Structure 1
């Protein structure tokens, strides 16, 4: 018992009549990494809010059961109570000040001060900030994390990975931190950056810091966690050592059903030969993406997967086709040359992109679900517009907009309070479903989807991928899926193109040996290099 840092017994929580947690029993040892997984709505967030003392818990009647931390029974009423006890939490959304240096963010509200001559006359309020000492403290926290990072860098000038490391270093700089809760810390990271973070987590565990690691990337759970805890519908379904299970088995526990063979591998029966889209010597000036000279043919009615290592250019291709970033070369669509660098022309021609940046590009977060879904079709195709007097009088058909949204809310199982709810209030998985509904409402002949399942749970992943396959089957539309998840591409695609150093390294059947995909990703040339 003396090695147990956190113990939870018979924990239950209701919001009104809705039970969101029921009889949760779990513990975390000192220096142990626990992987916490479950679909959206499984109860993960509520459990973390209880552990971290979020006010919403007390404001809604508290919880049942007992929480013991470091040998003492606790009932935190605020995050300050949790921080004081030694619990740090890094949320999905960054809470950093962009204009401040990393060091200033790491010691924020705990700045080092030094005296001066004015203190003698005017008291402690005249002490000044000791920049050198703050930098020293920040550097020590970064060193504890085990990463290389300049603490003098401004947050706004940092890559995403360093912002994530700054968030974690801030929690570590609190001298009493014993437990870290990391909520989807790798969701915005590349594969290489995620591996650095996983190594850092192992370093922290070796120093005796316990970690609760929440992620949808089950392979990361297998790689780094000592045990995995699976929640489903507010109930703890399984607790098991990671070395005794697999990502596939965890997935089945999460969604409550077996994954049939066909669901994993998909049905890949396309054999068309008519070229729908052709790229010749395509280059795209997209920050962080290296698109140099892409030559590729996409056949009508197929689902083409595009994969590759981070930063090698896979995401830049669709962004270039849609004119979102400066592009050169030639694009031919349905036999005709497509005007470059014109998003409107691409949309008008029947192309549509579900962006990898759903919050920054894909959605209008302050607008309702129904307006987000209808907006592109209304602007580009003039759908949802009623007309009289030969088009002299026009007005928005609000009932059709609402009806269309309700249809997709039902079909895609969007968890929401209704079509008029703000998109910004939805979970990541449900926001992605709204992006898909928006695309389907446009009825594009060629649909491009980038990172369709990034940061969403396994149940939403399956639904999104199934929706793409069904749209392809029902309409005959051509689909290009770009993803960092190779298994995801193999499950839905007719062919998979691997991008390396800004070019097509090769194109493979999804049933090819994984080793061949790996060789192309690291630059070993494939048999088919130009589609």
Structure 2
């Protein structure tokens, strides 16, 4: 009787656990998908969705980091998926958020890649079967069939290069359903890059595939899509499965609350400069567009109040990261940014720094640090380049300058002590520091510029819990003791709510609204999913 019960599910996950370097990212996940069912998985950034999909599809990152605990069953039988090839052979397909297409190949060639149909010819019959040639017509016939199932009428012999993004997404799906043994399809944010009309077509295609008996796992942050097509909905939060329910038993508001709901531990502020709701704007952003790949900003207008800690939140790829990068001139931008009423020149990092802005990048190892350079040089480098700081006349001649090593050493030791940078000394290479201490070096370099506004992007990414608390406490200290205005961009909504005075939420490159940290989980969840809540503050 138990076997019969198992076999009704095309996929079962039992007590799945996964750690990355001692950090638990999946904590006992139990999930079931029936044949012909659309099962949605929703959650914030970092909830564990991608890790779960990597396990199901056998991505190398799982094996290379120690594997996982628990069981995966397909059609009631336990399986061990060691690679994507294993998954494909078992009938599991995945439509990735990032396209896995060959631009120089045609639609048909992409659909049939690694599954080409061959036919015999006189040479292969005489010499070797290895000399068979492509059966182009048979391949095109299969490709047209797969495209037709998705409601696509595009010519199958067009090259991928130059196709609209929506067409590329459908080619990805067509490639998966062309496989004869497909049982389960995993869709990872399939509508993220699609226009609204294209997204509607894709959702209809998903319904048609489910009607054929294919089980579908649907990862998305768009709650209206979840309600529109899903049969069952599972919510992940901080690696835990907080709920699984039938669509009929839930609402968009309930999903939003479960997705972000958590106890907010507000860090005590001794001098909350923004508590009076002062309207004194130190910076005004007008119709800002930032052309940052994957994090573009589309017409954001926002006032930053003097002396506040403003949070910038949102899901991955929605544009929150692009805001600071654009203002600081790291990516091409258009629009207007005023500081204290004066227009700041965009697309010019030097001008941004001269206007007393400083930036701690989200990519500390790729952009924020010179890893094979000493701590002290990392701290003073930007000041030396932009402000001629830490330089002295060479042999008394002002026109020629050299590094003031004594001043550099004294300054570096000051910040090592003040920020509690754990190191062997100021000459230690930053590569050899822990993630939390590397982050402190980035902050020290920004503070060396003596900014009035400090932009910090993902300040606690990749560092341990203890170091996170130290970094957040440091930001509060800078705000309260030095009166520094801080704009903190983070994927960790709980952190934003713990220290910020206001939180601006970005979706699809646009400002959805501004919330108080104490506003409801429902409002935060809906706004992050592109559905403004009832208590959103007026955008100013």
**TM > 0.5 fold call:** yes
SS of the residue 1:392 aligns to:
strand
Q: Does 1:3 align with 2:8?
A: yes
Q: Does 1:442 align with 2:446?
A: yes
> Do 1:181 and 1:211's aligned partners in 2 also have CA atoms closer than 8 Å?
yes
Question: CA 1:171 to 1:281, structure 2 compared with 1: closer, same or farther past 3 Å?
Answer: closer
C-alpha deviations, 1:478-499, integer Å up to 9, x for none? 5678999xxx999978697999
Q: Does 1:392 align with 2:389?
A: no
Equivalence map 1:98-497=2 (5 Å): 98-116=103-121, 118-131=123-136, 133-146=138-151, 155=160, 157=162, 162-185=167-190, 197-215=202-220, 221-230=226-235, 236-245=241-250, 257-258=262-263, 269=275, 271-274=277-280, 276-277=282-283, 300-301=306-307, 321-323=327-329, 332-352=338-358, 364=366, 378-382=380-384, 392-393=402-403, 420=431, 438=442, 442-443=446-447, 444-446=451-453, 476-478=483-485
Distance in 2 between residues matched to 1:489 and 1:151, nearest whole Å: 48
Shift of 1:109: 1.0
> Do 2:368 and 2:442's aligned partners in 1 also have CA atoms closer than 8 Å?
no
C-alpha deviations, 1:299-353, integer Å up to 9, x for none? 5446789999xx9999988666544566677654334443454222223322356
> Do 2:419 and 2:440's aligned partners in 1 also have CA atoms closer than 8 Å?
no
1:89 alignment partner, one of 90, 94, 107? 94
Shift of 1:283: 8.3
Q: Which runs of 5+ in 1 are unaligned?
A: 410-418, 522-527
Distance in 1 between residues matched to 2:194 and 2:384, nearest whole Å: 38
Distance in 2 between residues matched to 1:230 and 1:286, nearest whole Å: 30
Distance in 2 between residues matched to 1:139 and 1:330, nearest whole Å: 49
Give 1 or 2 for the bigger CA radius of gyration: 2
Provide the aligned length of Structure 1 versus Structure 2. Answer: 491
> Do 1:35 and 1:214's aligned partners in 2 also have CA atoms closer than 8 Å?
yes
> Do 2:382 and 2:445's aligned partners in 1 also have CA atoms closer than 8 Å?
no
Question: Bigger CA drift: 57-66 or 198-207?
Answer: 57-66
Question: CA 1:303 to 1:152, structure 2 compared with 1: closer, same or farther past 3 Å?
Answer: farther
Question: CA 1:237 to 1:496, structure 2 compared with 1: closer, same or farther past 3 Å?
Answer: closer
> Do 1:119 and 1:125's aligned partners in 2 also have CA atoms closer than 8 Å?
yes
2:425 alignment counterpart? none
Question: Bigger CA drift: 2-11 or 374-383?
Answer: 374-383
C-alpha deviations, 1:191-229, integer Å up to 9, x for none? 776666545434432332212234556665455432233
Equivalence map 1:46-85=2 (5 Å): 47-54=52-59, 66-85=71-90
Question: Bigger CA drift: 1-10 or 82-91?
Answer: 1-10
> Do 1:66 and 1:73's aligned partners in 2 also have CA atoms closer than 8 Å?
yes
C-alpha deviations, 1:136-184, integer Å up to 9, x for none? 4344434434567675565554565555444333222212211112344
Question: CA 1:371 to 1:131, structure 2 compared with 1: closer, same or farther past 3 Å?
Answer: farther
Shift of 1:29: 0.7
- RMSD of Structure 2 on Structure 1 (CA): 6.6
Distance in 2 between residues matched to 1:134 and 1:404, nearest whole Å: 68
SS of the residue 1:180 aligns to:
strand
> Do 1:286 and 1:325's aligned partners in 2 also have CA atoms closer than 8 Å?
yes
